[in-house]
Chains A and B, each alone.
Chain A
């Protein structure tokens, strides 16, 4: 039985929830439950209510009303979230993406590069639950 993993997607475009949800279902070595909220405020509410169950936050780089990850991720950190945060963007080549560590971001990934193999790799790196043990 594959390991259970809870991921929170924060994206103001509900279509992304459908696309990334379909992608997560293709990952075979983890049983991923994708939770979805549209704003950072809702993400904070989700984190407070779900407690330790959340394994990772995937966040769209640009979310209203904030500008980009430099404003959104510190907001999560200020509120005490210390789990892994990945930023998804359609372009990660802008210079400010070199400073992800300063803003509490663990990794960045281009939307075009997010495939089931990439998701498995990221979970292996950041969640590291023994996939064979199903913990």
Chain B
């Protein structure tokens, strides 16, 4: 999706980002980024209004946390009450949280260690990011390291911003008004003939998962909420006959 010119400086990670197609590719990019900087896990969280109740599981749009960890956290703790969560609404500066914050020697007393304690890591790094439309997200890294150096911190912030930008444009963005690809138009036509996802998968030689994924994209692009409205709008707009 080469839409950015050379002024958007992406250094040597441009190649991977330009080639990323789907959630698995962005999982690979964020996961290897976490490991490269000494963390074990990452999570991309979508932020809502500060006072709206947020569960960790519902806020995570992409992550590599062990299965069930976010749900277990939510059963025992309230994300809204954590100092980490509150920091997202105080400033957009990246924050670092360490188990040693307990000691209070950095002036922040015990505040801040609550989230990492509760979720079971020694260190967290949060990087506030946003889409071109202004919606806010956090790229969170978790691990058992002691600290992160200045250079590495600057680098991971820049890299996470670039990766998030691609992830948002490629996967998360509301694509209303964008044109359908030939494959999407083909699937839309079969939907209009009353075919199910598994039947369409057989006809166009892809997996049922891919058909469902294309269908979700068509819903977004046509700005409709179900398959009936999708077909009605597609006929009205003469995308299909």
Interface positions of A (Cβ within 8 A of B): 28-30, 74, 77-78, 80, 82-86, 93, 97-98, 100-102, 104, 106-110, 113, 117-118, 120-122, 124-126, 131-132
Q: Mark B202-219, 1 if CB is under 8 A from A, else 0.
A: 100111111000000000
In the complex, the chain B residue whose C-beta lies closest to that of A82 is B201
Q: Output the least CB separation between A104 and chain B (Å).
A: 5
In the complex, are the beta carbons of B24 and A107 less than 8 A apart?
yes
Q: Output the least CB separation between B114 and chain A (Å).
A: 25
A132 to B66, CA, bound (A): 12
- With A82-B207, A85-B207 as known contacts, state yes or no: A124 contacts B19, CB within 8 Å: no
Q: Kindly state whether residue B28 has any CB partner on chain A within 8 Å.
A: yes
Q: Which of B22, B32, B64 contacts A107 (CB 8 A)?
A: B22
The tally of residues in B whose CB lies under 8 Å from a CB in A reads: 27
Q: Which of A109, A122, A131 contacts B68 (CB 8 A)?
A: A131
A106 to B24, CA, bound (A): 9
In the complex, are the beta carbons of A82 and B208 less than 8 A apart?
yes
A82 to B201, CA, bound (A): 6
**Those of B175-219 within 8 Å (CB) of chain A:** 183, 198, 201-202, 205-210
In the complex, are the beta carbons of B206 and A110 less than 8 A apart?
no
In the complex, are the beta carbons of B31 and A113 less than 8 A apart?
yes
- With A77-B205, A82-B202 as known contacts, state yes or no: A106 contacts B28, CB within 8 Å: no
Q: Output the least CB separation between A83 and chain B (Å).
A: 6
Q: Kindly state whether residue B67 has any CB partner on chain A within 8 Å.
A: yes
A118 to B201, CA, bound (A): 25
Which residues from chain B contact A102 at a C-beta distance below 8 Å?
A: 183
Interface of B is mostly: helix
Q: Output the least CB separation between B206 and chain A (Å).
A: 5
In the complex, the chain B residue whose C-beta lies closest to that of A97 is B19
23 contacts between A and B (CB under 8 A): A29-B68, A74-B205, A80-B202, A82-B202, A82-B207, A83-B207, A84-B207, A85-B207, A101-B183, A101-B206, A104-B206, A106-B207, A107-B24, A109-B24, A113-B28, A117-B41, A117-B64, A118-B31, A120-B64, A120-B66, A121-B27, A121-B64, A124-B67
In the complex, the chain B residue whose C-beta lies closest to that of A73 is B205
Q: Output the least CB separation between B1 and chain A (Å).
A: 10
In the complex, are the beta carbons of B198 and A82 less than 8 A apart?
yes
In the complex, are the beta carbons of B19 and A98 less than 8 A apart?
yes
Which residues from chain B contact A93 at a C-beta distance below 8 Å?
A: 15, 19
In the complex, are the beta carbons of A117 and B31 less than 8 A apart?
yes
A122 to B23, CA, bound (A): 9
A28-B66, A83-B208, A131-B67 known; 5 new pairs, CB 8 Å cut-off, are A29-B68, A74-B205, A101-B183, A106-B209, A118-B31
Which residues from chain A contact B71 at a C-beta distance below 8 Å?
A: 132
In the complex, are the beta carbons of B28 and A118 less than 8 A apart?
yes
Q: Kindly state whether residue B232 has any CB partner on chain A within 8 Å.
A: no
**Those of B54-103 within 8 Å (CB) of chain A:** 64, 66-68, 71
Q: Kindly state whether residue B21 has any CB partner on chain A within 8 Å.
A: yes
A102 to B19, CA, bound (A): 15
A77 to B205, CA, bound (A): 5
Which residues from chain B contact A85 at a C-beta distance below 8 Å?
A: 207
Which residues from chain B contact A113 at a C-beta distance below 8 Å?
A: 28, 31-32
In the complex, are the beta carbons of A109 and B201 less than 8 A apart?
no
Q: Output the least CB separation between B36 and chain A (Å).
A: 12
